[in-house]
Structure 1
Amino acid sequence: MNKTSVPSIDSIDRQWYLVDAENQTLGRLATEVASVLRGKNKASFTPHLDTGDFVVVVNADKIRVSGNKPQQKLYRRHSGRPGGMKVETFTHLQERLPERIVEKAIKGMLPHNALGRQMFRKLKVYKGAEHPHAAQQPKPLQLDPAATAQ
């Protein structure tokens, strides 16, 4: 009878990947990145372990959404105080903090527990083309060609 092998924490080989978000559709990019963060692209994927890789996303300020979403998509946050709800459109948030748009989209596709928070820490998002992770020699991650906005 075959036994299911569970990889030990020490045996997990973590790679660094670089994703250029320029002219990419937000949701399609987020699903690919979330899959890599979870480790679903590996044969050693285990649902209850963090087997994923590190992902660096650059050019977050050049991400695209389709249709009327730039004006209609809303991002909400609450201060915790009565009347503390803040609502912001995609366009305003992209001008102010473009990294947060990509982070929020990817975080919503990860598990909503401690394991998901651990996976989210391996995501690095930058609004420009420069990033401080050159020493890790990230490999370019090939995304699905359908993810590119028309």
Structure 2
Amino acid sequence: MNKTPVPSINSIERQWYIVDAEDQTLGRLASEVSQVLRGKTKPSYTPHLDTGDFVVIVNAEKIKVTGKKNTEKLYRRHSGRPGGMKVESFSALQARLPERIIEKAVKGMLPHNALGRQLFRKLKVYKGSSHPHSAQQPQILKLDPATSIK
């Protein structure tokens, strides 16, 4: 009987990638980034292991959405206290914390368990074009040209 090879934790090589979010569509960018974080782009992909890479996203404030989501999409959070629901539109959140928009989109596309939380820690999102991860020498992640808004 043939055994399926399972990569050992020490044999997994992690790359660092950088993505420029300028003029990218939010959902399409998030789905491609989540696949890289998960490790689905590698031949050694294993569903129950963290085989993915690190991703740095810059220019988070320049992300785009299609249609009327700019004014109609709502982000909700709750403090846990009675009456503690806070609701904010996409444009208001983009002006206040543009990193959170991309983080929430990517986090929703990862597994909702301990593995997903571990994968989410490998995502780094920054507002401007500068980031503190230049020592890791991140490579530019080539996204599908259809992922940007024309």
> Please, what TM-score do these two structures have when normalized by structure 1?
0.99
Q: Which residue of 2 aligns with 1:143?
A: 143
Matched, 1:16 2:16: yes
Two-structure CA RMSD over aligned residues (Å): 0.5
TM-score (norm 2): 0.99
Identity rate of aligned residues, in percent? 76
For structure 1, the 5+ residue unaligned runs are none
Q: Please list, as runs of the form range in 1=range in 2, the aligned pairs for 1:55-94 lying within 5 A after superposition.
A: 55-94=55-94
- Counterpart residue type for residue 91 of structure 1: S
1:4-63: per-residue Cα shift (whole Å, max 9, x none)?
000011000000000000000000000000000000000000000000000000000000
> Which amino acid in structure 1 is aligned with residue 4 of structure 2?
T
Aligned-pair distance for 1:2?
Answer: 2.3
Secondary structure, counterpart of 1:24 in structure 2: coil
Runs of 4+ in 1 over 3 A off after TM superposition: none
Number of equivalent positions: 150
Structure 2 CA distance, aligned partners of 1:127 and 1:31? 20
Residue 109 of structure 2 corresponds to 109
CA displacement at 1:3 relative to structure 2:
1.5
Q: CA deviation at 1:87?
A: 0.2
Q: Which amino acid aligns with 1:23?
A: D
Match of 1:28 in 2: 28
Unaligned stretches of 5+ residues in structure 2 = none
CA offsets 1:64-86 (integer angstroms, 9 cap, x no match): 00010000000000000000000
